[in-house]
Structure 1
């Protein structure tokens, strides 16, 4: 009931606002210009391998605000599934560092939040990539999570793309909440100087629902939506672009990305600072 009330409340706010107005051996990361996206200024897949802090921006029922927000952080890839790699850096290592920094920052600075990590080491959840990705969504379901945030870094074959984007599901049960959470994170990343490509949806080419509508291309989006959980994929920056490499070239830089993620999450859920 907590999850339903929260999702309905945030969706109502979204409707009102509208009315008022990788490299080598890995699947290629997505070109933001080829997707259905909305500008935030206003990966992996099984098929292929709240407002100001301390407020109630989603107009959530006051009784629910007393309950902790449960957030699953998913460090993308891991183990034999390395993700993108470039210039001696591996995506799976960067995502694990950022996830731990986000968890640490939220727990040290905010009350009312519980953080669950899908992995804490350089491991896979399954040696089968499809099962590995579904298990991440199931962890969120088992934790009764409000959302799953999957952390990633992008790359392109031509090494000519830069900036941040967040992949979200187009499914009606989760898309509005996913979009608002994603935009809150993107605003913080943009504040660091990263180009904001906004939220992006991508349809599967070969997987459809019972009505013939394409399902989400990315397994994290798809499996979370199947479990009524907003599951978003944060592509922080392009690790192979000269404009973005400075955001991943040190632990301090990665901590800055993590702080942006954490502040975006805190503002969306209206977390109270300690």
Structure 2
């Protein structure tokens, strides 16, 4: 059983970065909930614990202590960037004590590639930092920065629920590859492909229909394929 600790950054009085009418804490929770739902709806041998499932404050220590005590296999922290309005793109981080040949770096490289396939953002690269959630976790950990909230181009994407779903799916695709997650063999899985990009894969027919409905007004092509 694979155990994922999923950490939507910030929350409560800690809004994180702000810009273009958006708050980081809301976006990180939105993406993380989408990741959780994609995983638990489609992969039977996985448990997901979230640092928060609503707009509440959690300290960094509470988050990492909880993940360590639970014995998580992987720690994934979701964030949105901000700087001065002119910077844009996606980047992700592992701890700066780790080599590029480490297991954590190998996991990072796979997830980075899968997220970049779907997010249509500038690739700012694979990076390292001494962030608390990367330093104090006992398991491999990754922090992703999904666009810049104060950049007009990135913010336009962050306001689009369809884009948020693609980003969540990109993270899931990476996790599936890294940890060889198997979909439920007792159920038919259908992929939903919008304008050439897979935006979801679901075992429940209702979830397939809801995904198609979300894209009906904006998509040029929608393809549903049985896996």
TM-score, reference length from structure 2: 0.75
User: Take 2:40 and 2:100, find their aligned partners in 1: how far apart are those partners?
Assistant: 26
* Superposed CA RMSD: 1.8
Q: 1:263 aligned to 160, 173, 186, which one?
A: 173
TM-superposed deviation, 1:86: 0.5
8 Å Cα contact 2:6-2:77 kept in structure 1? yes
Which one has the bigger strand percentage? Answer: 2
Give the 3-state SS of the residue equivalent to 1:244 in structure 2.
helix
8 Å Cα contact 2:20-2:152 kept in structure 1? no
8 Å Cα contact 2:111-2:173 kept in structure 1? yes
8 Å Cα contact 2:20-2:155 kept in structure 1? no
Match of 2:188 in 1: none
Give the 3-state SS of the residue equivalent to 1:150 in structure 2.
strand
Higher relative contact order structure (alpha carbons within 8 Å, sequence separation ≥ 6): 1
Q: Which runs of 4+ in 1 moved over 6 A?
A: none
TM-superposed deviation, 1:177: 2.5
Match of 2:108 in 1: 182
8 Å Cα contact 1:169-1:221 kept in structure 2? yes
User: Take 1:147 and 1:174, find their aligned partners in 2: how far apart are those partners?
Assistant: 18
Give the 3-state SS of the residue equivalent to 2:102 in structure 1.
helix
Contiguous gaps of at least 5 residues in structure 1 = 1-67, 126-131, 203-215
8 Å Cα contact 2:95-2:135 kept in structure 1? yes
C-alpha distance after superposition, 1:207-228 (max 9, x if no partner): xxxxxxxxx2x1111111xxx2
Number of residue pairs the alignment of both structures matches? 183
8 Å Cα contact 1:186-1:196 kept in structure 2? no
Q: 2:125 aligned to 198, 219, 223, which one?
A: 198
User: Take 2:61 and 2:2, find their aligned partners in 1: how far apart are those partners?
Assistant: 22
TM-superposed deviation, 1:172: 4.5
CA pair 243-80 structure 1, distance change in 2 beyond 3 A: same
Structure 1 residue 222 and structure 2 residue 135: aligned? yes
TM-superposed deviation, 1:109: 1.8
TM-score, reference length from structure 1: 0.63
Structure 1 residue 84 and structure 2 residue 17: aligned? yes
